[in-house]
Structure 1
């Protein structure tokens, strides 16, 4: 764990703790915790992601772990966490690529997108598309669903995403 670097960044009047490993010029993977977790929850994944050539970043949200608490904790909201995260991404110079995932998902039907996502993220290795490849192209159409995700589940997800699409889901909270 000693290869993980720790720093504090002033965000919205608070010092937020950030754990980071990997090259600053590599594509970033940002790990976000819930309650009662902290950055430490992601330590093993961060090392694996950095070992695959990515920059792994795990902040402690305001009032968690080594980050400053807000001045009035009882008034803290999810909006505060989102504002902190956006400011943190800017402070860390994380480039944004809006539209790429939407274009990748948009060329396939909803059921195929959901199927591919569950297959990709149930693997033991981290899915990585090559430079001239999109993430949806990594999955072979003959690959079976994970055993815990049934055809019935896929049909339900696919039909529900037919209505909503992925645009909002890719914007909030994905980005």
Structure 2
């Protein structure tokens, strides 16, 4: 097996993990949040934080590393407009994702404390979830745009 096949496989697998884990955990966390059931919310938020640590974080690291290696190996121009747009969107996605990681970690802590103490979820939990939800949409749409750019490689500007 040659380096190109290994790198491309790792790049595709890490993008799949990034997108799939993000979409899956967001779906379950949001719809569990909407139930208002503290025990379920505590479990969903805890597992979302764990999934981000185990799957999303390694994929976030692998994407630029394998992408850069593929660029070099394929002789792609770093200044190609589609590639620059993809990299900017990736950075933008990261700027959305970093606060999301903190927000869901804090939401998990607040839900666990509410469950442990037999209390309702505090106002801060709901504030964090509104911001989490709001940051998720631009990140999600940016990842879809990155997929399109990687496949289509359109001539965006010259």
After TM superposition, the score normalised by the length of structure 1 is 0.24
Structure 1 or 2: larger helix share?
2
TM-score by length of 2: 0.25
